[in-house]
Structure 1
C-alpha cells in the first residue's frame, strides 16, 4: 500500500484530501508545515508528497528543492495561483505534476495513481540497468545521470521519461507530441510549454556537451549514439 504525505496549512482541505485518499486505499500522513512533514516521513518514508505551494514559514518550493534527490518521493504540487507561470515554476524546480486549488479529489487521486504507476512500472522494468551515451551513464534505478568529471544529477519523473524516450530513439527526430506523451503520460493535463521546460532542465544537467538538438518545425533530436543501439 503506497504511503502519501499531504502537506498543506489549510486544515479543512488537508483533512478532506487525506480522508478521501484513505477511503481509496492509500496510507496517508498529513502535515501543516515542512517541519511536521519531516517528522512524519522520517518515521515512515513517503512514496509521494502532495505539497501546497504557498505556506507560512518554509514554502512549498523550498520543501520541493530539498525533497528532490535520488530515491526521494514523487511530488505533486498544489497552488491557489493556477496560471501557467506557477505551473512552470513548479516543474522547473522538479515537481512530477501540478494541480490548481481547489482541486477535485478524484482528479488528484488519478494523478497520484498515474505517477506511482509510472514509477512502479519503470522500476520493475529497469531494475539494475544502466544506459550509456557519450561520456554519460543513466542509472535507471536511482534516476540520475553520471559523468566522470561531474557530480550525479538526479532527474525528475518527466526528465527521466523524456531522456529514456531519446535513448530509445537516438539520432532520430522526435516530435513535440511524442515527447509530451513520453514525459507525462496520457493521464496528465499536459501543456506545450511543459515539454520545453523539461528539455531545458535536461540540457542544463547534461552541461556543455548537451546532445539535444532542436529541429526547427519538427521537434528535437538526441545526437549521441547510445551503447547497444
Structure 2
C-alpha cells in the first residue's frame, strides 16, 4: 500500500486558483468586466458574506461601473448565481488535476483526497473557505436560485468521490448499511463544518483538525490502522 504520508510530502500547499491564470489587476478591456465581477464576488463574499457585500463594493473591487454590472447580471442575486456556477466550473478543473488521483488503490485515493483538502487549508478563512458553502448557509431560504446553484456545486463535487469509495468497498468487501454516495456526501459535511469552525475560532488549525478526524473515521469504516506519522 502506498505510503500516503510520503506522498503528501510532494503535494504543494496551494489555495484555490493559485495556479490559475488571472487577468491583470487593472485590465482595461471592457469585455473582461464579467470575469472581474465574478472574481470580485468570489473573493468579497467569502470574506464578508453575501448580504454585507454591496453592489458598489463589487464594482469597486472589479474596477467596473455599476452599469457594467447590470449589463452582465440582472441583479445582485443574478451575480450570486453566476458566481456559484463559476466556482463550480473552476473548482471542478482544479480538483480534476489534483494529485490525489494518482494512487492505484481506490481507498488510497479517497484518503489522499482528504489529505489534499487538509493541505489547502492555509491562510485566513476567507482564503480557503468555500464560496458555495458560505452562500448556502446565508441565503438558502431567501434566494432559492443561489441555493440551487450552490447545491449543484456541492453535490456535484461529492459525486466525484463516489466511484472511488464504491471501488474501495468492493475491493475490501466492506458493507455496513451505508453507501458510497452517503460517505461522499459526509466528506462534504465535515469539510463545510470545518470551515465554519475555522471562521468561528478564526483559526485554520480547527479546520485541519476536523479533516484529521475524517481521515480516522474513513479508516475505521474500512478497518485500517491509523496512519504512521513521519519522523520529525
| Larger gyration radius, structure 1 or structure 2 | 2
Output the TM-score relative to the length of structure 2. 0.29
Q: Which has the higher strand share?
A: 1
Q: Which has the higher helix share?
A: 2
Output the TM-score relative to the length of structure 1. 0.29
